[in-house]
Amino acid sequence: MTLAGRIGPAEVAAHWPVGDILTVTPLGGGSINAAWRVQAAAGAFHLRVYRDPRRERAEVEHRAVRLARTCGVPTPDLLVTRGGGTLARLEDRWAALFEVAPGAPVARHALSPEHAAGLGVLLAGLHARLPEAVPFDVPPLAPPAGVAVTLERLRVIETAILALPHPDATDGWALDRTRQRLAHLRTSPLPEDLPTLPLRFVHGDFHDGNVFFQGGVPVSVIDWEQPRLAPCAWEVVRALHLSLRLDPALGGAFLRAYRGDRPLPPEELQLGAALYGTQQERNVWVYESVYLRGNPGPRAFIRPPPYVPFPQAWTASGLR
């Protein structure tokens, strides 16, 4: 089976005791893994098929889910397979069956200050409830690559885009932004020395697409595949950037709500922004995934030019 292949009721029923399988419907939108909605006699479920072949990567997510639920974090549980575990082998891929989260994500363009405040409260709750250390291996936040390494990786990406036989508008955006980043890194990169902040266990991929709302209130957080040891301020800045695009009104509502439940001094937030900004400057995951590894999912993250270095956008936002 490939990620684009079809999964039928028999494959699901062979591994999970959920009664008769009525439908197995593929879901779009996954940037890394493939997903299906399973309607069975026992209810509706979410089937995740992992792109990464390493079993231990999925096992870390499952341990994180169980830990989060123990801590009172609202997140869907995993179903146990007929073999007694939480992972099943669907031909050449690992797979897991989850409960369906209540509610639904809110489209990014439709997020209001109330939604942003809800995200802030939820993230503060995660930081308050989750333990600082966990009894399983979680990678620390990876240091940014050096400037020279990033320049070479961007040149390889530029060559791959230029070699496309039929580039479209998104490919053109990617090429323009890649060249603009190359110019920036050749002339005015951020310094290599990074601010030091304490590391702790965090969700690692907290953003609006992984939060489900009901009546404007967040009721569940999903996707624990990228937990890591990182500063809380880094995760706050990441959410402000990815989910709220550093919008002053939305970001201000988020920060006020977060700080209403958990302290976050402006100095700590600024250090988190400095760390995140350096990582963003050296982050080429989206383009390498699309143009070097053949994964089309992250194409959704390619934005129109111009490339604006994160520190400039952060300063312009006025968020503190």
Q: What pLDDT digit, counting tens, does each position of 184-243 carry? A: 999 999 998 888 899 999 999 999 999 999 999 999 999 999 999 999 999 999 999 999
pLDDT average, residue stretch 131-141: 96
Asked whether residue 237 is assigned to any structural domain, the reply reads: yes
> 30: pLDDT confidence band, cut at 50, 70 and 90?
low
Residue 317 placed within a domain: no
User: Does residue 296 lie within any of the structural domains?
Assistant: no
Residue 301 lies in a domain: no
pLDDT for 269 equals: 98
69, 205: one domain: no
- My answer on whether 131 and 250 are in the same domain is yes
- Number of domains composing the chain: 2
Distance of alpha carbon 43 from alpha carbon 87, whole angstroms = 19
Task: Read off the pLDDT of residues 105-130 as tens digits, 9 standing for 90 and up.
Answer: 999 999 999 999 999 999 999 999 99
Mean pLDDT, rounded, for 306-315: 97
**pLDDT tens digits for 79-94?**
999 999 999 999 899 9
> Looking at residues 96-105, what average pLDDT do you find?
96
Residue 18 and residue 112 share a domain: no
In a domain, 206, yes or no: yes
Q: Is residue 188 part of a domain?
A: no
Q: CB neighbours (10 Å) of residue 164?
A: 12
- Could you tell me if 123 and 266 lie in one domain? yes
Percent of the chain with pLDDT over 70: 98
DSSP 214-271: ETTEEEEE---SS-EEE-HHHHHHHHHHHTTTT-HHHHHHHHHHHHHHS---HHHHHH
Same structural domain, 22 and 117: no
In which domain, by residue range, is 212 found?
108-143+194-283
135 in the same domain as 75? no
Residue % of the chain over a pLDDT of 90: 91
Kindly state whether residues 137 and 199 are assigned to the same domain. yes
pTM (2 d.p.): 0.93
Residue entry with tokens 């965090």: 202
Whether 231 is in a domain gets the answer: yes
DSSP 8-class letter at 15? T
64 & 122 share domain: no
Instruction: Say yes or no to pLDDT of 3 above 50.
Output: no
Average pLDDT, the chain: 95
Q: Are residues 210 and 247 in the same domain?
A: yes
User: 167 phi and psi, to 5 degrees?
Assistant: -65, 145
Same structural domain for residues 198 and 228?
Answer: yes
Shared domain check, 243 and 127: yes
* Average of per-residue pLDDT across 13-41: 90
CB 258 within 8 A of CB 265: no
Check residue 195 and give its pLDDT: 84
| Model confidence at 4: pLDDT above 70 | no
- Whether 161 is in a domain gets the answer no
| Domain CATH number, residue 199 | 3.90.1200.10
Whether residue 50 is predicted with pLDDT greater than 60 in this model: the reply is yes
Residue 32 pLDDT class (50, 70, 90 cuts) = confident
pLDDT band at 5 (very low <50, low <70, confident <90, very high): low
Which residues lie across from 97 on neighbouring strands?
47
Q: How far apart are CA 43 and CA 21, in angstroms?
A: 9
Q: Are residues 122 and 207 in the same domain?
A: yes
pLDDT, average across residues 236-265: 98
Domain with residue 57: its CATH number is 3.30.200.20
pLDDT at 316: 98
